Amino acid sequence: MASGRHYSPVDRLFLQADAALRTLLPFSGQPGRPSPAIVQAEAELDEQDARHVAGLMRINHTGEVCAQALYQGQALTARLPDVRAAMEHAADEEVDHLAWCEQRIRQLGSHPSVLNPLFYGLSFGVGAVAGLISDKVSLGFVAATEDQVVKHLDDHLQQIPAKDEKSRAILEQMRIDEQQHATSALEAGGLRFPAPVKFGMNLLSKVMTKSAYRL
């Protein structure tokens, strides 16, 4: 999302609606980088492995839907222009992940989660509220969320069959990017959330992962 000009509140609402549609409609997000999976050979997976990997990639796709919504909600309510620009830049990078995961899910003969619109709405609301509280809290929420994402990616990398280099390449690049987002948010002044808050976030993420894996 461009941030080089001044947008009125109404303009921003229209931009948020456009971002939501581009996130939720199939193949509507255009990645800025080609998928890391392109250079990897397709492995022959049996039906059980293919179904399991598709479920894992569906979780990651839903996670990227949530990330898009979180960043868009925070950008809408961020007070400082540089914080808003940082949120919008991070959202742009997450578009790559969103598209890569969707491509891989389709290759595995499956589909994104039908619950994505629900998760988008919830995450957008959380992001907007965090931005209203303060930019420091908003940035801290980004860091804590990305830390959770990195843990999920580490777990998924262990579960993916060794021969599935396509899925592995996507998740490895996503991990690099997500870790950088977390670091950048803290360096920009983000609040380091206490352990009880992170524990609560972890419980909520488990609800998302279990439902997205199946639906």
Where along the chain do its domains lie?
A: 48-214
Going from the C-alpha of 10 to that of each of 6, 7, 17, 114, the distances in angstroms are: 12, 8, 11, 29
Residue 13 has pLDDT above 70, yes or no: no
Measured between alpha carbons, how far is 100 from 81 in angstroms, rounded to an integer? 30
Give the other-Cβ count within 10 Å of 81's Cβ: 10
Report residue 7's pLDDT band, with 50, 70 and 90 as the boundaries.
low
Amino acid at 95: V
Q: Where are the alpha helices (DSSP H) in the chain?
A: 9-24, 47-77, 81-107, 116-133, 135-159, 165-187, 195-214
Residue 10 has pLDDT above 80, yes or no: no
Enter the CATH code of domain 48-214. Answer: 1.20.1260.10
39 phi and psi, to 5 degrees? -85, 0
The tens digit of pLDDT for each residue in 127-143 reads 888 878 888 888 888 88
* Residue 64 confidence (pLDDT): 87
Higher pLDDT, 199 or 121: 121
* Residue 93 confidence (pLDDT): 73
Measured between alpha carbons, how far is 68 from 60 in angstroms, rounded to an integer? 12
* Residue 8 confidence (pLDDT): 66
State mean pLDDT over 161-165.
94
The tens digit of pLDDT for each residue in 53-83 reads 999 999 999 988 888 888 778 777 767 677 6
Please report, in range form, the residues annotated as the binding site.
Answer: 64, 94, 97, 146, 178, 181
Please report, in range form, the residues annotated as the binding site for Fe cation.
Answer: 64, 94, 97, 146, 178, 181
The tens digit of pLDDT for each residue in 16-28 reads 666 776 677 766 6
Measured between alpha carbons, how far is 130 from 140 in angstroms, rounded to an integer? 9
* Residue 101 confidence (pLDDT): 94
Contact 136, 190 (CB under 8 A): yes
* Residue 4 confidence (pLDDT): 46
Q: Is 109 exposed, middle or buried (0-12, 13-18, 19+ CB in 10 A)?
A: exposed
* Residue 72 confidence (pLDDT): 79
